[in-house]
């Protein structure tokens, strides 16, 4: 979700106003996804690298995260959303961690849409964390190579299928350490639309683009026709 700062700057507002507007968009997009039958939505809210931002902005982001959890969980629950927050959560303060745990516990049986929020997340961290946890569980396997299937359950989102579509807003064309392992075969979609402007219509453009893609997973077009 990129472009909050620029959205605010264009309006001569402080960057944090863009983040606040971004939170509103999250609510709209979650609901638009539910209406469209999307079952898994994963949002990159805060990367491990975002701590490098000015202290003031980081603390406002944390406040917004707390406020969003306080305000939105009830609504999510009513809408059948199962909330998961993944990342290195140890660096967040106790209040935030408590709200995350409560929100997850309250919504855990919901099946309509699984909303994963990646917070203090990094794709490389995810992979290394998985390898280290696998090693912890397999202390004697030092000479055995790890297989993809063995590692997958140790990644942060074993409950979700790999993403079909990756959307980056805000004009940049890079992954920026998001889901590196899981995006291996995802269709990538980049748009100049800033996140606070990314509405249901913009989502539909992304989905329309996805529908035109041919997903071969390494096969040829001809092979796909035979299947
Ligand atoms: C993304 O918007 C929000 C977060 C990283 C939390 P930015 O803050 O990166 O917005 P721009 O790129 O400055 O416009
Ligand atoms: Mg940015």
Give the pLDDT band (50/70/90) at residue 142.
confident
Helix (H) or strand (E) holding 22: helix 15-35
The Å distance, Cα 46 to ligand 1 centre, comes to: 9
What pLDDT digit, counting tens, does each position of 64-101 carry? 999 999 999 999 999 999 999 999 999 999 999 999 99
Please write the tens of the pLDDT for every residue from 180-222. 999 999 999 999 999 999 999 999 999 999 999 988 889 999 9
Question: Residue 16 pLDDT > 90, yes or no?
Answer: yes
Q: Is 177 in the pocket of ligand 1 (CB under 6 A)?
A: no
2 lines ligand 1 (CB under 6 A): yes
Domains of the chain by residue range: 4-124+156-206
> Residue 46 CA: which ligand 1 atom is closest?
6
Burial category of 126 from C-beta neighbours within 10 Å (exposed 0-12, middle 13-18, buried 19 and up)? buried
105 has a pLDDT exceeding 90:
yes
Nearest ligand atom owner, CA of 65: 1
Give the pLDDT of residue 79. Answer: 97
Q: What is the mean pLDDT of residues 23-49?
A: 97
pLDDT band at 9 (very low <50, low <70, confident <90, very high): very high
Say if CB 182 and CB 164 are below 8 A apart. Answer: no
CATH topology of domain 4-124+156-206: Undecaprenyl pyrophosphate synthetase (3.40.1180)
Alpha-carbon span 225 to 227, nearest angstrom = 6
Atom of ligand 1 nearest to the CA of 19: 3
CB 195 within 8 A of CB 3: yes
Nearest-ligand number for the alpha carbon of 22 = 1
State the pLDDT at residue 60.
95
- Choose the weakest-confidence range: 28-37, 46-55, 137-146: 137-146
Residues 99, 96: Cα–Cα separation, whole Å? 5
143-182 confidence digits (pLDDT tens):
788 899 999 999 999 999 999 999 999 999 999 999 999 9
Residue 130 has a pLDDT of 97
Residue 46, ligand 1, Cβ within 6 A:
yes
Q: Are 77 and 110 in contact (CB under 8 A)?
A: yes
**Residue identifier of the C-alpha nearest atom 12 of ligand 1:** 3
16 pocket-lining for ligand 1 (C-beta < 6 Å):
no
């Amino acid at each position: 979700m990129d472009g909050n700062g620029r959205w605010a700057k264009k309006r001569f507002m402080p960057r944090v106003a863009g983040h606040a507007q971004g939170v509103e968009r999250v609510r709209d997009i979650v609901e638009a996804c539910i209406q469209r039958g999307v079952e898994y939505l994963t949002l990159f809210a805060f990367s491990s690298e975002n701590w490098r931002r000015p202290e003031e902005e980081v603390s406002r982001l944390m406040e917004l995260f707390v406020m969003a959890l306080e305000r939105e969980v009830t609504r999510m629950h009513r809408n059948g959303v199962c909330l998961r927050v993944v990342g290195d959560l140890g660096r967040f303060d106790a209040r935030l961690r408590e709200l995350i745990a409560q929100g997850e516990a309250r919504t855990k049986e919901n099946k309509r849409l699984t909303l994963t929020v990646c917070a203090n997340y990094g794709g490389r961290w995810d992979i290394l964390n998985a390898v280290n946890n696998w090693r912890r569980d397999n202390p004697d396997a030092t000479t055995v190579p790890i297989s993809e299937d063995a590692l997958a359950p140790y990644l942060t989102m074993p409950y979700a299928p790999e993403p079909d579509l990756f959307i980056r807003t805000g004009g940049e064309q890079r992954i920026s350490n998001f889901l590196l392992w899981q995006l291996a075969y995802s269709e990538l979609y980049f748009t100049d639309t800033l996140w606070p402007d990314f509405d249901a219509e913009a989502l539909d453009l992304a989905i329309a683009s996805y529908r035109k893609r041919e997903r071969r997973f390494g096969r040829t077009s001809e092979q796909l026709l035979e299947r």
